[in-house]
With several copies, the nearest count.
Chain A
Amino acid sequence: MKHIQNTAINYSELFDDFRHPHSGAVVLFSGEVRDNNKGRAVTHLEYEAYAPMANKMISEILEEAKSRFKLNQAACVHRVGRVEISGCAVVVITGSGHRKEAYDANRYIIDRVKNEVPIWKHEFFADGTSEWGQNCDCVSNDHHNHQHHHHYERAE
């Protein structure tokens, strides 16, 4: 599937292919696995997806971004399966005539992919436990008013 893959994302190759004579600005975002989350040591992640739907939704988000911003190109690939620390979980590339559109569109795409697309992160901690994310970047503890507030410990 074009936007979902279970092997390492070769962003260098994706980026090298991403040339367009009308593009003056190309922005690449790589979402990577940190060795910690909310103060806990992380050993690795595993991603699960409802793959056919996720693939379709990412494709639609890219098309919407292309028409909303003045993009020449847009690409997004998300990993499933195990991803190690510093491994790439998701990559978004946008190319436009000017940099403002390339940055704005890039962020628009990653925000929507993270919030809407049926992909889930399973975090494995150094203490042997694991947890399904919980994606919110929000630092606040007031999780009552939005819908991404769940994490539920997995019974090992």
Chain B
Amino acid sequence: MNRKIVCFAGLKKFFGDETSVEVAPEESYANLLEKLGELNPEAKEVLTSCRIAVNEKFVPLDETIKDQTTLFLIPPSSGG
């Protein structure tokens, strides 16, 4: 199953505004971050501190990717 991933801020340098990754059933969000790191090894460091949001809520990374909606890849906040 191909999942659409929306990227923000500095992540766009590595993946553009959005990218997509093929995920198998039972894979977790952490697995998805790993795959993104393989896609672009330069992004590996920042990916270790990224969170993932689904439906405007952060998801625990060890959870299985469950729904069909778009994933949002959230780098560390730097507002204010």
Contacts and interface: CB of A to CB of B under 8 A. Distances in A.
Interface of A: 31, 47-50, 52-54, 56, 78, 89-90, 110, 113-122, 132-135, 147-152, 154-155
Contact of A133 (B8, B13, B49, B78): B78
Contact of A50 (B8, B49, B78): B8
Q: Taking chain A's interface residues, is the majority helix, strand, or loop, or is none over half, making it mixed?
A: mixed
Contacts of A47: 79
B9 interface: yes
B9 A48 contact: yes
B46 interface: yes
Contacts of A52: 56
B78 A121 contact: yes
A73 B31 CA distance: 43
B46 A56 contact: no
Interface in B1-43: 8-10, 13
